[in-house]
Amino acid sequence: SLLHVLEHAGISTLWRDNQSGCKGVCDGLDIQKLDDATTPGLCADGRCMDEILLSDLAAQVRAKPGDRVVVLHQLGSHGPSYFERYPAQFERFKPVCKTADLGSCSRQNIVNAY
């Protein structure tokens, strides 16, 4: 992968994961799995908000001198339940669709959620 090429060129890499792994892209590199963290306010019921990727990020960047690439692998907007992936205080456009049954929401409410 490109990350392995960067490592070979002397640029350190770090893969911070809030999803289901890297599917081989980050094998053999520095990896931090954060999707099973228990940070109050960011994690509940075995799932973390993508914001968990930012926790302690500055310290991780400073941990190794020189050039560094950090990949933040987000849970992101996969699937119809995006409304569950960010806290209510980050809702910018309202009202939002708050169900995985998108057929029961207006187009505008779906757009607002994303």
Q: Model confidence over 3-36: pLDDT tens digits?
A: 999 999 999 999 999 988 889 999 999 999 998 8
Give the pTM: 0.81
Report d(CA 3, CA 17) in Å as an integer: 15
Once rounded to an integer, what is the mean pLDDT over residues 98-103? 93
pLDDT of residue 104: 95
The CA angle 37-63-14, to the nearest 5 degrees, is: 60
Residue entry with tokens 């029961």: 104
Does the structure show a pLDDT above 80 at 79?
A: no
pLDDT of residue 39: 87
Domain ranges of the chain: 1-76, 79-114
Contact by Cβ (8 Å): 12, 66: yes
